Amino acid sequence: MIFQSLPTFFGLTQEYRLNLFKSIHDICYNGNGGYDYYTIYDMPIWLRNLTYKLIAEQKEREREAYSKKFDNGNKIDFNKPKEAKQSYSKVDVPSYVTKASKK
């Protein structure tokens, strides 16, 4: 049976469902074991959105702290590998390397 018109009832779009399940996944994955799927799924929408927002802000603060701690100015532009290669110092060959004797 082929219908000529679109459904006239209210329903959730595929995009909404995709965003819903992505947010549930992100909260469960980044919640450090504090949440399970059913708890997040049954959570009120406003609380789920708040929880998602707070976890996202916390992860952003962790990312900034990590980059401040380990960023020492050696950023590599992978689109220009030759220039990045020149920024590193040359490797010195040890002086104790000698040729093997032929016996």
- In tens, the pLDDT along 30-43 reads 888 888 999 999 99
pTM flag (> 0.85):
no
Residue 62 tokens, joined: 């962790």
The pLDDT confidence band at residue 74, using thresholds 50, 70 and 90, is: low
Residue 91: the pLDDT is 65
Q: Name the residue with tokens 């997040």.
A: 40
Mean pLDDT of 10-16: 82
Contacts of 36 (CB under 8 A, 6+ apart): 28
Distance of CA 39 to the CA centre of its chain: 23
Residue 86: the pLDDT is 54
pLDDT digits (tens, 9 = 90+) for 89-100: 566 666 776 676
Mean pLDDT of 47-54: 94
Q: From CA 97, how far away is CA 78, in angstroms rounded?
A: 34
Domain borders along the chain are 14-87
Report which of residues 103 and 50 the model is more confident about. Answer: 50
Query: Is 36:24 a contact under the CB 8 Å cutoff?
Result: no
> Among candidates 74, 86, 24, 77, which has minimal Cα distance to 51?
24
Q: From CA 78, how far away is CA 10, in angstroms rounded?
A: 48
